[in-house]
Homo-oligomer: A and B are copies of this chain.
Amino acid sequence: MAKEKKVEQITDMEKDFAQWYTDVCRKAELIDYSSIKGMFIYRPYGYAIWENIQRIMDGMFKACGHENVYLPMLIPESLLQKEKDHVEGFAPECAWVTMGGSEKLEERYCIRPTSETLFCEHYKNVIQSHRDLPKLYNQWCSVLRWEKTSRPFLRHREFLWQEGHTMHATAEEAREETQRMLNIYADFMENVLAMPVVKGQKTEKEKFNGAEETYAVECMMHDKKALQAGTSHYFGDGFARAFDITFTGADNQLHHPFQTSWGVSTRMIGGIIMTHGDNNGLVLPPRIAPTQVIIVPIAQHKAGVLEANRQVMDRLKAAGIRVKIDDSDKAPGWKFAEYEMKGVPLRLELGPKDIEQNQCVLVRRDSGEKSVAGLDGIEETVSGMLDAIHDGLYAKAKKNLEENTFPAASLEEAKQIQEERGGFIKTMWCGDIACEEKMKEVAGMSSRCVPFVQERLGETCPCCGRPASKIVYWGVAY
């Protein structure tokens, strides 16, 4: 009964995907609404996922020499305006501070929507010589974009992210950095979040305001829509020129350095939900799950049961596994449903009969598969099963991506596939923005990226019939 009631709270995804998503966010206690539209509260369980993401990514960044800094949250309007394309892109989304205490400010300040301009101002101070390069800085913070619509994790007015900003002596080095960080994102998403990605370059239309080139990792959600999960930008020396940043080279001449930036945000948590979740709720990839194993004692009032359960918990903890026990007086059925909804990867049940036989029951959240395991070596069994869950989640998501990526030879075909099947549709493309706009108009899809892994689907652009040498992925995006 308790279980059925619990599960009822979540709308089936087949019935209403958007409602399913919101239900999971709320019922799994990931997020709450605040009194300002579009500004959300990251609750302990949602924030704990972000902490795990941060910890792992931060280690990856530092392993390749990046250092963390913290720059102000406010940008003077004059500073934001120094790079033309950049300000055009962001000014419409800025929240403006106009009063400090009871005084009207002489210049208004925007709350950072991104920090390229602030980093440039600082880099101008701290870069003098080629010996000061590269500068490999990263910042964990929140940014604010005054969006009209919002959805938990996917589009907030304020969201948590990291923004890397680097400066290099040569264009080549900066381009390498752009690719390195895109690869780190892809690696993280696949090997930690179990989310397969398509890596590629954004088109001119879709690139970041002020960047020369933007690269992205694109993921496919359960509903076959696309989620841009991370981006990496190459700026050339455009900002450096606008901000007059120079360094003395080994040749004793003044040069402008070359710049990159790259970022991922709590939007990835939305990606996790929509990649792995099911009608019973959240399904968390084990490597970022706040709780990897939930222990549910069976017949816990019987002598020795709780002690035996706690012993197993202590052993798993000692093996570095994130484990919790629920020894509350709620019924096991209620507990099963609760931790299923919260997406805990593995449930361990231990009752009097199991104790007698020196075994326990393990239930996988991803497949529902139930197995009996000996308590000897339970650490290795659990740890192996967590890896297997990761692999299983990845394989399932990869299958979803592959089975829902379709080639199309004409605009009409692309439109039809999108209407009937959804997913990513790949076509040849001439590179013209007019054809991109036509695809949007006719088939409702935007370009996702020009994938690094290219193939030959024909000789001409399906939108205009002109010669085309590259394929592009199209999709409906979050």
Contacts and interface: CB of A to CB of B under 8 A. Distances in A.
Contact of A44 (B51, B93, B118, B137): B137
A101 interface: yes
A32 B98 contact: no
B74 A122 contact: no
A320 B233 CA distance: 36
A94 B101 contact: yes
Contacts of A39: 72, 74
A71 B122 CA distance: 28
Given A34-B121, A34-B122, A36-B109, A69 B92 contact: no
A149 to B, nearest CB: 13
A102 interface: yes
B32 A122 contact: yes
A228 to B, nearest CB: 22
A96 B93 contact: no
A277 to B, nearest CB: 22
Given A95-B97, A121-B34, A122-B32, A41 B71 contact: yes
Chain A interface residue bracket vs B: 35 or more
A72 B36 contact: yes
A126 B36 contact: no
Contact of A69 (B43, B70, B98): B43
A48 interface: yes
B71 A51 contact: no
Contacts of A100: 95-96, 146
A51 B67 CA distance: 11
B41 A69 contact: yes
Contacts of A94: 99, 101
Interface in A103-151: 108-109, 111, 118, 121-122, 125-126, 137, 141-142, 144, 146
Nearest to A160: B70
A9 interface: no
A36 B97 contact: no
Contact of A111 (B40, B93, B111): B111
Contacts of A72: 34, 36, 39-41, 158
A334 interface: no
Q: Can you list the 5 inter-chain pairs with the closest CB atoms, starting with the nearest?
A: A44-B67, A96-B99, A39-B72, A42-B70, A100-B146
6 contacts: A36-B76, A41-B122, A42-B70, A47-B67, A73-B73, A100-B146
Given A32-B122, A93-B101, A97-B111, 16 more contacts: A40-B72, A41-B71, A42-B71, A47-B69, A47-B70, A51-B68, A70-B160, A73-B142, A73-B158, A74-B95, A95-B99, A95-B100, A96-B97, A96-B98, A98-B98, A98-B99
